[in-house]
Amino acid sequence: MNTDCFNWVDDTLNATVYTILRYGNTTDNSSDPTTSDWSDTIGSTCVDLDESLLVPVEEKDAQSTTDAVVSFNSSFGQLVSDGETYGRFFVNDTSYTNYIYQPILEGIASEGTSFINTSAVASAIFEDDVWTGDIIINNLDANLDHPYHLHGNEFQIVARGTGTLSVDDAASIDYNTTNPLRRDTLVIPGGDYAVLRISNDNPGVWVLHCHIAWHLAEGFLGIVVSRPNGIADIDFPSSMDDLCSSRPDFVSADTTEPGRRRRAWPINFSNLVKGKRHGINGHSAQKMRRHF
Ligand SMILES: [Cu+2]
């Protein structure tokens, strides 16, 4: 474990632990492997891999054009509830709330995309006539890098840059479609944007979220709905349907993820955000980093 990303290292932490992974049909499970560590060193800065050094071995050009463009803007901000002010992450001005007894996939399958509770989750829809879709992500937190993770698709990074990119402006920028990097997680530095190109061939409700666990827990999640008609055609196993009847009568269908709304912000909030909904200044962001 690279502890350079930590602001402090707990004395009791064992930063290096080992396990054994075996590939293939080996029958010899008794002897220890003899593989050795890589010789390259990891830098002491806490940043993503240098993408310019990464080239997909299995070449795959991106589609040269896209059928649809959607965008997600993420930012840290405040939520006031019952007189208390909470720190939350927002995606398109919506802080995700998980209604655990109202699963979105099954809801869309039976009721269509009108099922989506727009006050609980930010959503983007790629309809069934879309085969190539672009997802713009704008990281509005000027000094906070986030690792964005998309489920269900292996996206191609066809553009990135500083500042924000609107859906309209996306029509006039340059795209790299020649064997672009394919990933499922991408660090977008604070104040930057990226454009992810996907094949819209996998019907589902795919979450896009920050992979820092507590950012996710504080609402950093949106959904990409791929092929709503295809979702309606999914044959759900009975074991999934059975879950719908598993809610005890005394538990409300409006129950949110346990503890989700009651958790207090861990530090003095007034020190953290200078009253701005978006655009956290550097001083505040540094304080936030301490809690990664
Ligand atoms: Cu994050």
Q: How far is the CA of 215 from the centre of ligand 1 (A)?
A: 5
164: amino acid identity, one letter: T
Q: How far is the CA of 191 from the centre of ligand 1 (A)?
A: 13
What number does CATH give the domain 68-244? 2.60.40.420
Q: How far is the CA of 22 from the centre of ligand 1 (A)?
A: 33
pLDDT value of residue 57:
95
When the pLDDT of each residue in the chain is averaged and rounded to a whole number, the result is 85
pLDDT value of residue 15:
87
| 3-state class percentages of the chain: helix first, strand second, coil last, to nearest 5 | 15, 25, 55
Q: How far is the CA of 94 from the centre of ligand 1 (A)?
A: 15
Residue 266: pLDDT over 70:
no
Q: How far is the CA of 91 from the centre of ligand 1 (A)?
A: 11
Binned at pLDDT 50, 70 and 90, residue 258 comes out as low
pLDDT value of residue 21:
81
**Longest Cα pair distance anywhere in the chain, in angstroms?**
63
Q: How far is the CA of 218 from the centre of ligand 1 (A)?
A: 10
CB 223 within 8 A of CB 207: yes
Q: Give the position of tokens 């492997």.
A: 33
Q: What is the value of pTM for the model shown? A: 0.78
Residues 271-283: pLDDT tens digits? 333 333 333 333 3
SS3 143: coil
Residues 137-192: pLDDT tens digits? 999 999 899 999 999 999 999 999 999 999 999 999 999 999 999 999 999 999 99
Q: How far is the CA of 212 from the centre of ligand 1 (A)?
A: 5
pLDDT value of residue 279:
32
Residues 201-245: pLDDT tens digits? 999 999 999 999 989 999 999 999 999 999 999 999 998 888 878
Give the start-to-end residue ranges of the domains of the chain: 68-244
SS3 130: coil
Q: How far is the CA of 261 from the centre of ligand 1 (A)?
A: 19
Q: How far is the CA of 271 from the centre of ligand 1 (A)?
A: 19
| Nearest Cα residue to 61 out of 172, 199, 249 | 199
pLDDT value of residue 34:
80
Q: How far is the CA of 90 from the centre of ligand 1 (A)?
A: 10
Residue 259: pLDDT over 50:
no
Residues 17-51: pLDDT tens digits? 888 888 777 777 777 878 787 777 766 777 777 78
Rounded to 5°, the CA angle 281-47-42 comes to 150
Residue 268: pLDDT over 70:
no
Q: How far is the CA of 214 from the centre of ligand 1 (A)?
A: 8
Q: How far is the CA of 78 from the centre of ligand 1 (A)?
A: 15
CB 161 within 8 A of CB 193: yes
The proportion of the chain whose per-residue pLDDT surpasses 70, expressed as a percent, equals 86
Radius of gyration, alpha carbons of the chain: 21
State mean pLDDT over 124-147.
Answer: 96
Residue 128: pLDDT over 70:
yes
Q: How far is the CA of 288 from the centre of ligand 1 (A)?
A: 11
Q: How far is the CA of 152 from the centre of ligand 1 (A)?
A: 20
State mean pLDDT over 85-102.
Answer: 94
Residue 285: pLDDT over 50:
no
207: amino acid identity, one letter: V
Residues 51-79: pLDDT tens digits? 878 999 999 999 999 999 999 999 999 98
SS3 208: strand
Question: What is the rounded CA–CA span in Å between residue 252 and residue 8?
Answer: 42
